[in-house]
Amino acid sequence: MNATMVNGSAAVTVDARHIEDAVRDNAWLHFTQMAMYDDRERRPLMLVRGEGSTVWDIDDNAYLDLLAGIYSVNAGYGRQRIVDAMAAQAAALPFVNPFGYISVPTAVLANRLAELAPLGGEARVFFTSGGSESVESALKLAKQYHTNRGYPHRWKTVSRRVAYHGTTMGALSVNGLTDARSAFGPLIPGARHAPMSNRFRCPYCQDAAACTLVCYDEIERIVEFEGPDQVAAIILEPVQNAGGCIPPGSSDYFTKIRKLCDDTGILMIMDEVICGFGRLGTLFASEYYGVQPDLITVAKGITSSYAPLGAVLARKTIADSFAAPAPDELPPPVAEARKAGFLHGLTFGGHPVSCAAANANLDIMLEEDLPGRARDMGAYLRESLEATLGNHPNVGDIRGVGLFLGIELVADRDTKETFRDNALLAWLTDKMRERGLILRNDSRNDPTTQLCPPLVITREECDRTVGILEETITELGRRLGTVGTSHPSPQMQGAPA
Ligand SMILES: Cc1ncc(COP(=O)(O)O)c(C=O)c1O
Q: Distance between CA atoms of 2 and 4, rounded to whole angstroms? A: 7
Q: How far apart are CA 177 and CA 174, in angstroms?
A: 9
Cα(68) to ligand 1 centroid in Å equals 14
pLDDT tens, residue by residue, 356-396: 999 999 999 999 999 999 999 999 999 999 999 999 999 99
Mean pLDDT of 268-295: 98
Burial of 81 (0-12, 13-18, 19+ CB in 10 A): middle
The residue whose CB lies within 8 Å of the most ligand 1 atoms, and thus the one to mutate among 165, 279, 303, is 165
**Ligand 1 centroid distance, CA of 45 (Å):** 22
CB distance 176 to ligand 1 below 6 Å? no
Nearest CA to ligand 1 atom 10: 131
Cβ of residue 404 lying under 6 Å from some atom of ligand 1: no
Tell me how far apart the terminal alpha carbons of the chain are, to the nearest angstrom.
44
Residue 148 CB less than 6 A away from ligand 1: no
- The whole model's pTM is what? 0.94
Q: Mean per-residue pLDDT for 426-442?
A: 96
Helices 422-434, 459-480: inter-axial angle, 10-degree rounding? 140
> Which atom of ligand 1 approaches the CA of 242 most closely?
16
Whether the pLDDT of residue 52 is over 90: the answer is: yes
Binding site membership of 135 for ligand 1 (Cβ less than 6 Å): yes
What is the per-residue pLDDT for 272?
Answer: 98
CA of 163 to the centre of ligand 1 (A): 10
3-state secondary structure of 66: coil
Query: CA-CA distance, 206 to 209, in Å (whole number)?
Result: 8
Contacts of 431 (CB under 8 A, 6+ apart): 472, 475, 476
Confidence at residue 3, expressed as pLDDT on a 0 to 100 scale: 63
Distance from residue 87's CA to the centre of ligand 1 (Å)? 26
- Can you tell me which atom of ligand 1 is nearest the CA of 241? 16
Task: For residue 401, report the distance from its CA to the centre of ligand 1, in Å.
Answer: 18
Q: Is residue 316 within 8 Å of 117, Cβ to Cβ?
A: no
For residue 435, pLDDT beyond 80: yes
Q: Determine the distance separating the centroid of ligand 1 and the alpha carbon of 71, expressed in angstroms.
A: 9
Length of the chain: 497
The residue ranking higher by pLDDT, 182 or 486, is: 182
* 300 Cα nearest atom in ligand 1: 10
Considering only the top CATH level, what class is 45-74+370-492? alpha beta
402, 374 Cβ separation under 8 angstroms: yes
Can you name the residues that pair with 124 across neighbouring β-strands?
A: 314
Residue 219 has phi, psi (to 5 degrees) of: -65, -45
Please tell me if the CB atom of residue 272 comes closer than 6 angstroms to any atom of ligand 1: no
Q: Where does the pLDDT of residue 192 fall: very low under 50, low under 70, confident under 90, or very high at 90 and above? A: very high
Coil, helix or strand at residue 122:
coil
Helix (H, G, I), strand (E, B) or coil at 396: strand
Q: Per residue in 331-352, pLDDT tens?
A: 777 777 777 899 999 999 999 9
Tell me, using a 6 A CB cutoff, whether residue 278 lines ligand 1: no
- CA distances 440 to 109, 117, 119, 143, 394, Å, are 32, 30, 32, 35, 17
Which atom, in ligand 1's list, is nearest to the CA of 272?
A: 1
- Other CB atoms within a 10 A radius of the CB of residue 207 amount to 6
Give yes or no for residue 491 having a pLDDT over 60: no
Q: Is the CB of 131 under 6 A from ligand 1?
A: yes
Among 47, 32, 53, which Cα is nearest to 304's?
53
For the CA of 135, the closest atom of ligand 1 is 4
461 lines ligand 1 (CB under 6 A): no
DSSP code of residue 255: H
pLDDT tops 90 at residue 431: yes
**Whether the domain at 45-74+370-492 and the domain at 82-367 fall into the same CATH topology:** no
Check whether 494 has a pLDDT greater than 80: no
| Residues 108, 352: Cα–Cα separation, whole Å | 11
What is the torsional sign of CA 318, 127, 234, 187? negative
pLDDT for 496 equals 33
- Of 486, 469, 489, 488, give the one whose Cα is nearest residue 409: 469
Q: How far is the CA of 88 from the centre of ligand 1 (A)?
A: 28
What's residue 483's pLDDT?
Answer: 82
- 407 contacts: CB under 8 Å, gap ≥ 6: 385, 389, 395, 397, 398, 448, 449, 451, 469, 473
Is the CB of 405 inside a 6 Å radius of any atom of ligand 1? no
130 ligand 1 Cβ < 6 A:
yes
Give the C-alpha separation, 229 to 29, whole Å: 42
Strands 295-298 and 267-271: parallel
- For the chain, the average pLDDT equals 93
In terms of Cβ atoms closer than 10 Å to its own Cβ (0-12, 13-18, 19+), residue 478 is middle
Span 82-367 CATH architecture = 3-Layer(aba) Sandwich (3.40)
Asked if pLDDT for residue 488 goes beyond 50, the answer is no
Nearest residue (by CA) to ligand 1, atom 4, is 165
6 pLDDT tier (thresholds 50, 70, 90)? low
Protein residue with least CA distance to atom 7, ligand 1: 131
Strand pairing partners for 437?
64
Domain ranges of the chain: 45-74+370-492, 82-367
